[in-house]
Chains A and B, each alone.
Chain A
Amino acid sequence: MSKKNFALPRFIASVAAPILAMAGGPWGGKPQDDAQDGDKPGDGSGTGPRNPWTQPPGGGRGGERPADRPSLFDDLLRRSRERFGGGRGPGGAEPGSPEVRSLWPIALAVILVLWVIMTCFHRIGPQERGVVLQLGKYSRTLSPGIGFTLPAPFETVDSVDVEEIRTIDVGSVGDGAENLVLTGDQNIIDLAYSVRWNIRDAELYMFQLADPDSTIREVAESAMRSVVATVSLPEALGAGRTDIEQRVEQRMQEILDGYRSGVRVQGVAIKQADPPEAVNDAFKEVSAAQQAAQTYMNEARAYAQQLAARAQGEAAAFDKVYEQYRLSPEVTRRRMYYETMEAVLADTDKTVVEPRGVVPYLPLPEVKRRSAGAEAQSPAVGANAQGGQ
């Protein structure tokens, strides 16, 4: 390896060393600080593998490493000064120390470089925002793309997905548990709905609410119940649903804005608004009654149609005949009479009783039987049958 190849990592190491030494402060500090600061490197965005690598310089220093650290640093500093002709590090350099030729300085330098690269560059996805904390203080928000920050202990990045639509379901469709809600007319309905929301403002979302998710759920429930409490049962069951959804959405947004929560409510969807199980049969009865009422009316309308058609038909027939009849009343009348009588008498048993004044006894069953047996005309006497006209 040439000298030049060694120069860069060593230089970085010499610069990074004091940084590392300062970084050691919170980690090696008192337990109360550990709890707070220990998770900082892990909060970074998407740099999963960083943790294992950073472990040695962070955790291990308290143990065996400090023994050779001063000499190591001295060595690095001295050599870097030889190359660059300047004192880069803080004081404490010792010109007289022997050179330590081992792999440790190289390994340390590599780790440091990786550490810096991993914690300075942050890939923020297109749907994300990176909230940069400068020693715990909010500094700025990174937009999608590659973001640069100071290395880890000084600046950390928490990336938040702001585009993802999150859904909260309240109540459930199908299973036995009912989410009963009182309506304005003191009736009860079983309601299931879902709320879609996303993060509008990453830093507000992170810093304002102690528990954003459960807050949103509670606000949703509160808003829904207060809105449903103003509508009547029929509205809640059907017609007013869209209106309710809009009002709940609006109300939720108002409340959440009041908290400065950085949350945008995208929509509220009522998935189910049914009468409770206990009274469902009564509601079905109503719809059955509606069906029955429709049935009655349909039948009546059919009858009406039939009747009207028949009346029109008969009237039209009469009119047509009457028109002809008017042209020659006498002939038409006789023609119709004969035709009708012909048709009637052709198919029937006929008995003509000749002698007048005889009022005979007519055994009707006998007439029936005989007429069934033969076509023969009986000589039996009969009552007068008066013809038309």
Chain B
Amino acid sequence: MQALFRNPVVAALTALAVVILIGSTIAIVPETRQAVIVRFGEPVRIINPYHANERFGSTGAGVAVRIPFAEQIVWIDKRIQSVEMERQQVLSTDQLRLQVDAFARYRITNPLRMYISAGTEERVADALRPILGSALRNELGKRTFVALLSPERGQVMNNIEAGLNRVARQYGAEVIDVRIKRADLPDGTPLQSAFQRMRTARQQEALTIRAQGEKQAQIIRADADAGAANIYAASFGKDPSFYDFYRAMQAYRRTFNAQSGGQTNIILSPDNEFLREFQGR
């Protein structure tokens, strides 16, 4: 026996066999995965299944033992995964189109059911994607365009989530939430007409602002005129006849002023008040 182990070839083969045996017996299950042990195609047990609110460290992760060669391990992700819906055009009840991107987050909570009904994780995502799309279209199609933008959207999402969850449960998955990532107007006419509407709204605003500005300016001027008239009246009203004289003197100075340009010829009659003393009486 000992002599046999001394033989390098035998020793190497033995070591290899041991290594393979250990490798196919012991498996390490990480925290992020659930494992379904399948014996000859039949699932026999689940290691590290998901439980809500479990604490890491007290999960089933760690070393797993299986019967070598007879039992296979099917790995299933334990984490939250997402399925994205490709852009969908949704028609609202008021016949407006909206392009919607949505995503759903789910977690496989029943690995056994998932293994039996879907086989692989990709097939779960593939199964959920079209259902998400149709649920979204149906639910959003019942709403008006404005409602799609409003906070009412939360209710829509809950309905979609409930619908999607019914299907997901058949695949051992649980939908955590459904969210609309984007909701845009489609390119082309709808977008352009929206732009046109925005543009005209702005032009209207611009004209209104301008008109308001003019109105305000006019009011300011009128107020000023009124104020000035008030000041003049209060002052000149004390003696209208003196005002008449005083203002006339000012007017003469200004109108007959040579400096203001233009020649002035004054033809005076000897009866003129100014020339009264001229006649030497």
Give the residues in chain A near B20, CB-CB below 8 Å.
28-30
Cβ-based interface call for B231 (8 A)? yes
By the criterion CB–CB under 8 Å, are A62 and B19 in contact? yes
Cβ-based interface call for A222 (8 A)? yes
Cβ-based interface call for B44 (8 A)? no
Cβ-based interface call for A279 (8 A)? yes
Give the residues in chain B near A314, CB-CB below 8 Å.
232, 235
| Minimum C-beta distance from B17 to chain A (A) | 10
Cβ-based interface call for A341 (8 A)? yes
By the criterion CB–CB under 8 Å, are A321 and B246 in contact? yes
By the criterion CB–CB under 8 Å, are B210 and A187 in contact? no
Cβ-based interface call for A100 (8 A)? no
Complex-state Cα separation, A73 to B11, whole angstroms:
13
Give the residues in chain B near A222, CB-CB below 8 Å.
103, 179-181
Q: A67-B8, A68-B8, A347-B257 are in contact. Are A341 and B82 (CB under 8 A)?
A: no
Interface positions, chain B 1-49, Cβ under 8 Å from A, are 2, 5-6, 8-9, 11-12, 15-16, 19-20, 22-24, 26-32
| Minimum C-beta distance from B52 to chain A (A) | 10
| Minimum C-beta distance from A6 to chain B (A) | 25
Give the residues in chain B near A259, CB-CB below 8 Å.
80, 105, 176
Complex-state Cα separation, A293 to B249, whole angstroms:
42
Closest residue to A383 on the B side, CB-wise? B267
Which residue among A61, A204, A296 has the maximum number of chain B CB atoms within 10 Å of its CB?
A296
Interface positions, chain B 152-211, Cβ under 8 Å from A, are 153, 176-177, 179-185, 191-192, 194-195, 198-203, 205-207, 209-210
Closest residue to A362 on the B side, CB-wise? B267
Segment at the interface with A among B53-61, B109-117, B129-137: B53-61
| Minimum C-beta distance from B93 to chain A (A) | 15
Complex-state Cα separation, A368 to B265, whole angstroms:
8
Interface of B is mostly: helix
Cβ-based interface call for A319 (8 A)? yes
Interface string of B238-261 (1 = CB under 8 A from A): 110011011011001100111100
By the criterion CB–CB under 8 Å, are B214 and A138 in contact? no
Give the residues in chain A near B180, CB-CB below 8 Å.
222, 225-226
Give the residues in chain B near A30, CB-CB below 8 Å.
20, 23-24
Complex-state Cα separation, A288 to B192, whole angstroms:
24
Cβ-based interface call for B228 (8 A)? yes
Give the residues in chain A near B22, CB-CB below 8 Å.
22, 24-26, 28-29
Interface positions, chain A 304-320, Cβ under 8 Å from B, are 304-305, 307-308, 310-312, 314-316, 318-319
Cβ-based interface call for B126 (8 A)? no
| Minimum C-beta distance from A26 to chain B (A) | 6
A: number of interface residues (CB 8 Å): 127
Give the residues in chain B near A136, CB-CB below 8 Å.
28-31, 61-63
Q: A184-B150, A230-B151 are in contact. Are A387 and B24 (CB under 8 A)?
A: no
| Minimum C-beta distance from B30 to chain A (A) | 4
Give the residues in chain A near B271, CB-CB below 8 Å.
384
By the criterion CB–CB under 8 Å, are B153 and A226 in contact? yes
By the criterion CB–CB under 8 Å, are A139 and B57 in contact? yes
Give the residues in chain B near A203, CB-CB below 8 Å.
31, 56
Q: A26-B26, A184-B150, A348-B266 are in contact. Are A304 and B274 (CB under 8 A)?
A: no
Give the residues in chain A near B258, CB-CB below 8 Å.
347-348
Cβ-based interface call for B86 (8 A)? no
By the criterion CB–CB under 8 Å, are B235 and A351 in contact? no
By the criterion CB–CB under 8 Å, are B16 and A292 in contact? no
By the criterion CB–CB under 8 Å, are B198 and A285 in contact? no
By the criterion CB–CB under 8 Å, are B203 and A318 in contact? no
Cβ-based interface call for A104 (8 A)? no
Cβ-based interface call for A82 (8 A)? no
Give the residues in chain B near A340, CB-CB below 8 Å.
249, 252-253
Complex-state Cα separation, A213 to B186, whole angstroms:
28
Closest residue to A138 on the B side, CB-wise? B56
Give the residues in chain B near A386, CB-CB below 8 Å.
269, 272
Give the residues in chain B near A312, CB-CB below 8 Å.
231
By the criterion CB–CB under 8 Å, are B149 and A210 in contact? no
Complex-state Cα separation, A294 to B268, whole angstroms:
54
Complex-state Cα separation, A261 to B80, whole angstroms:
9
By the criterion CB–CB under 8 Å, are A187 and B198 in contact? yes
Q: A70-B5, A367-B265 are in contact. Are A210 and B80 (CB under 8 A)?
A: yes
Segment at the interface with B among A31-39, A44-52, A118-126: A31-39
By the criterion CB–CB under 8 Å, are A336 and B235 in contact? no
By the criterion CB–CB under 8 Å, are A288 and B206 in contact? yes
Q: Of A29, A209, A286, A297, which contacts B23 at CB under 8 A? A: A29
By the criterion CB–CB under 8 Å, are A351 and B266 in contact? yes
By the criterion CB–CB under 8 Å, are B31 and A137 in contact? yes
| Minimum C-beta distance from A15 to chain B (A) | 20
Cβ-based interface call for A103 (8 A)? no
By the criterion CB–CB under 8 Å, are B79 and A229 in contact? no
Cβ-based interface call for B146 (8 A)? yes
| Minimum C-beta distance from A384 to chain B (A) | 4
Cβ-based interface call for B70 (8 A)? no
Give the residues in chain B near A37, CB-CB below 8 Å.
28
Cβ-based interface call for B220 (8 A)? yes
Cβ-based interface call for A177 (8 A)? no
Q: Of B61, B195, B243, B274, which contacts A387 at CB under 8 A? A: B274
Give the residues in chain A near B8, CB-CB below 8 Å.
66-68
Complex-state Cα separation, A385 to B185, whole angstroms:
84
By the criterion CB–CB under 8 Å, are B57 and A138 in contact? yes
Q: Of B103, B177, B231, which contacts A258 at CB under 8 A? A: B177
By the criterion CB–CB under 8 Å, are A348 and B265 in contact? yes
Give the residues in chain A near B218, CB-CB below 8 Å.
300
Q: A286-B209, A311-B228, A344-B256 are in contact. Are A221 and B182 (CB under 8 A)?
A: yes
Complex-state Cα separation, A292 to B177, whole angstroms:
51
Contacts A/B (CB < 8 Å), 9 sampled? A94-B2, A210-B80, A295-B213, A297-B220, A311-B232, A337-B245, A348-B263, A386-B269, A387-B269
What are the 4 A-B residue pairs with the smallest beta carbon separation, nearest first?
Answer: A29-B23, A293-B213, A67-B8, A304-B224
Question: Assuming A203-B31, A341-B252, what are 5 further A-B pairs, CB within 8 angstroms?
Answer: A33-B24, A221-B182, A300-B218, A311-B229, A350-B266
